[in-house]
Structure 1
Amino acid sequence: MAVFEVYSHPVVVRYRASICTKTTIFMFIVFGLTLVVPFLVAYTSEGFWVKQSVYLEQPYVSYKHQLLMVLEGTTATEYLVWSTYHNYNMLEQQRLRIPIVKSREEDTNRDGKPDKLLINIETPMLDTEQVYSLHLLVIFEYQLFRFSSLTMESMAYIHYNSPRPGAMFTVDGELQFKQNYPLPHRGIVDTYNYPVINGDSIYAADYQLTNIFRDYMDRNESTTFVSAYPVWVSGKGAGKPFIIQATIRYPEETILYYPGFWQLIKLAWIQYLAVLLIFIFIFGRLKTFVFQNHILQAAIERPFKLRSE
């Protein structure tokens, strides 16, 4: 007649030793190595503590209807200017030329956040005046909300140089977020929530592009205008204005930030546990080998034999 196994259970063999013995010291060492070695392995293999991370966010960008424009001719003294800053216009009133400015922001995906800005600037010109290069500063309010709450005033710098006099300049590009260091994972960041251009100043140096750019580059967070498709059209007709058509898009940005405590623990614990299970198995086999082969002395306590019914 065939015999089948109908039930089984493990038998526990206990090994006992006093505290001041080699056996107890061995067990303390093995226990410590079981906990410490996985930590060292996970930590030295890189990525245990996530020092910085990234996330995607569509910023809220608002055009502040503030501009500064410089149109340059063939020499350094031949240039025309205009801005929305009264003091600067007064300082440059001999070269001031008031354009017709039209602008609108569009929310193409209907999410409540503007997606791009369209600007059209028509500057009246004399027939004897020619434009060989342009500089245009467009001012924005830039906000992020997902982790840290960032609010700042930023700008787009649009410029172009040509060996031929222009009649129209067209550009289409993106206002890209730039940061030198990660943002905190929470809190209010308003360090640069002040004017890029000090419109209250009565000094010409505060409106010079070199000074504006120097102060702007000192920022940790800023924006920059990036375009790969500028078009310079020459052949301006008599009595025609010089036209600037710019499309500035607000793309979804990849934001660098410092992770919070719980995010660090969540990622670190998974890595530690994965390595810990391996070492629990390895040291478990080591302890079994040591005690079954009586390498260290210990009192053996065997289970009572089951009495047959």
Structure 2
Amino acid sequence: MAGVELFSHPALHTRYRAGLCSAAALALLLIAVLTYVPPLLVAYRSHGFWLKQSAYREQPTVRFRYEVLFVATTGPGPGSFLAWSTFPAFNRLQEDRLRVPLLSVGVPGGAGGDAGRVGGARERAAGCAPLPSRSSSLVPNFAPHGTTLSGQTREEDKNQDGKMDQLHFKLELPLQPTEHVVGVQLILIFSYQLYRMSTLVMQSMAFLQFFSPVPGSQLYMNGDLKLNQRQLLNHCGLDTRYNVSVVNGTSPFAADYDLTNIIAAYRDRNVTTVFSDPNPVWMTGRAADTPFIINATIRYPEEVILYQPGFWEIIKFAWIQYVSILLIFLWVFGWIKMFVFQNQVFTTTPISPVLPLSPVLSYKQHQS
């Protein structure tokens, strides 16, 4: 029999045959194109067909590196400030404006709070070295004129999941009776890591700043160390582009410690952290023999991480959209094909199957 089978349907119990170049074959080809191509166009034109970015939530692994740069403004003049950092080269540049710290690392439970003061006799009068490990006491240092900067800080894992949740930071700046603090600028440097998709390892910072026309006795801040992305992270691999020091602590040049230059270079990064929602509280009324105090709580919240999806994630997302629309077109054009061939809109050769007679019908025919 000439031709090929073009269409059959169980409900019709009939097969339809025609030549490959017949009108019926061309109509079937047109119906197939209208069935499979428009769903693709609809899915694409409705936007979001190709997944360009995706997101997930992760609690970052954050640790305070115990690297600090501190500037306290004491007046309107260009040289009216006191400064100190954990970078010896910076301290050497400050000369008589340096207040070298008497510091200690506090541990949860209150132990170690006075460790720095106990070791005061082991000071080095020529500036301070970088802070040691998180669990050890800091070697205190005194300025040549005897004034000190003391502080206590600790990190806390509140939910006991193995990741630190917040940092408690405290500084006490002893002042001369004639000195008054009207502004504070403080840089704290952290190690920031993500692991769930791609592995991101970087050094980041929190910048705390506040100024007041009224001299203060204490500054309190409580905020979040938030991740700021100007670029999507990769979906896999290791990213260590920004695992470099925020402050070039070995440079002998004052320009490398200028806050404007530090922040400008830091903001050139595509991935940074910022100290957000600090809620500053500026307290006034300091007695002549009391220090100026900075109390800060910096929380490490769970973050929504934006990343570039991989190939298979893009295909999976696109396939779901395409198939969901395709099912509707398959149902509609299935009925159209059935109508076209059943009503012989285009000439075909219908072939109906020869059904065997049932035993009852055969018996009645025999009796007649």
> Under TM normalisation by the shorter chain, which class is it?
over 0.9
Aligned to 1:196: 246
Aligned to 2:313: 263
TM norm structure 2: 0.79
Quote the Cα distance in structure 1 between the aligned partners of 2:59 and 2:354. 71
Quote the Cα distance in structure 2 between the aligned partners of 1:227 and 1:36. 51
Counting only pairs closer than 5 Å after superposition, residues 90-129 of structure 1 correspond to structure 2 as 90-98=92-100, 99-129=149-179
Aligned to 2:24: 23
Q: Which secondary structure state, in structure 1, belongs to the residue aligned with residue 262 of structure 2?
A: helix
Quote the Cα distance in structure 2 between the aligned partners of 1:308 and 1:240. 111
Quote the Cα distance in structure 2 between the aligned partners of 1:143 and 1:112. 14
Tell me by how many angstroms 1:267 deviates: 2.1
Tell me by how many angstroms 1:10 deviates: 4.3
Tell me by how many angstroms 1:174 deviates: 0.7
Structure scoring higher RCO (CA < 8 A, sep ≥ 6) equals: 1
Q: Which secondary structure state, in structure 1, belongs to the residue aligned with residue 51 of structure 2?
A: coil
Counting only pairs closer than 5 Å after superposition, residues 69-88 of structure 1 correspond to structure 2 as 69-75=70-76, 76-88=78-90
Aligned to 1:162: 212
Counting only pairs closer than 5 Å after superposition, residues 244-283 of structure 1 correspond to structure 2 as 244-283=294-333
Quote the Cα distance in structure 2 between the aligned partners of 1:227 and 1:79. 26
Quote the Cα distance in structure 2 between the aligned partners of 1:170 and 1:264. 47
Measured against aligned partners, the alpha-carbon deviations of 1:190-240 in whole angstroms (never above 9, x if no partner) come to 110000000010100000011011111111110000134211111111122
Counting only pairs closer than 5 Å after superposition, residues 1-309 of structure 1 correspond to structure 2 as 10-75=11-76, 76-98=78-100, 99-309=149-359
Tell me by how many angstroms 1:35 deviates: 1.4
Quote the Cα distance in structure 1 between the aligned partners of 2:207 and 2:277. 11
Q: Which secondary structure state, in structure 2, belongs to the residue aligned with residue 81 of structure 1?
A: strand
Tell me by how many angstroms 1:308 deviates: 3.9
Q: Which secondary structure state, in structure 2, belongs to the residue aligned with residue 71 of structure 1?
A: strand
Is contact 1:80–1:95 with CA below 8 Å preserved after alignment? yes
Structure 1 counterpart of 2:204, one-letter code:
S
TM norm structure 1: 0.94
Q: Which secondary structure state, in structure 1, belongs to the residue aligned with residue 235 of structure 2?
A: coil
Tell me by how many angstroms 1:101 deviates: 2.1
Aligned to 1:5: none
Is contact 2:224–2:278 with CA below 8 Å preserved after alignment? no
Q: Which secondary structure state, in structure 1, belongs to the residue aligned with residue 322 of structure 2?
A: helix
Quote the Cα distance in structure 2 between the aligned partners of 1:183 and 1:49. 17
Is contact 1:176–1:226 with CA below 8 Å preserved after alignment? yes
List alignment gaps of at least 5 residues for structure 2: 1-9, 101-148, 360-368
Tell me by how many angstroms 1:288 deviates: 1.6
Is contact 1:181–1:220 with CA below 8 Å preserved after alignment? yes
Is contact 1:52–1:182 with CA below 8 Å preserved after alignment? yes
Equivalent residue pairs, number: 301
Measured against aligned partners, the alpha-carbon deviations of 1:41-92 in whole angstroms (never above 9, x if no partner) come to 1121122222111111000001000000011122222011000000000011
Quote the Cα distance in structure 2 between the aligned partners of 1:200 and 1:82. 15
Q: Which secondary structure state, in structure 2, belongs to the residue aligned with residue 254 of structure 1?
A: strand
Aligned to 1:6: none
Is contact 1:139–1:155 with CA below 8 Å preserved after alignment? yes
Quote the Cα distance in structure 2 between the aligned partners of 1:253 and 1:218. 21
Quote the Cα distance in structure 1 between the aligned partners of 2:150 and 2:180. 18
Quote the Cα distance in structure 2 between the aligned partners of 1:222 and 1:254. 14
Quote the Cα distance in structure 2 between the aligned partners of 1:10 and 1:94. 98
CA RMSD of aligned residues (A): 1.3
Quote the Cα distance in structure 1 between the aligned partners of 2:316 and 2:35. 21
Quote the Cα distance in structure 2 between the aligned partners of 1:103 and 1:13. 85
Quote the Cα distance in structure 2 between the aligned partners of 1:297 and 1:152. 72
**Between 172-181 and 36-45, the greater mean CA deviation after superposition:** 36-45
Is contact 2:90–2:257 with CA below 8 Å preserved after alignment? yes
Q: Which secondary structure state, in structure 2, belongs to the residue aligned with residue 138 of structure 1?
A: strand
List alignment gaps of at least 5 residues for structure 1: 1-8
Measured against aligned partners, the alpha-carbon deviations of 1:171-198 in whole angstroms (never above 9, x if no partner) come to 1111001100211111111110000000
Tell me by how many angstroms 1:169 deviates: 0.7
Is contact 1:11–1:303 with CA below 8 Å preserved after alignment? no
Quote the Cα distance in structure 2 between the aligned partners of 1:150 and 1:119. 25
Q: Which secondary structure state, in structure 1, belongs to the residue aligned with residue 266 of structure 2?
A: helix
Structure 2 counterpart of 1:56, one-letter code:
R
Tell me by how many angstroms 1:304 deviates: 1.2
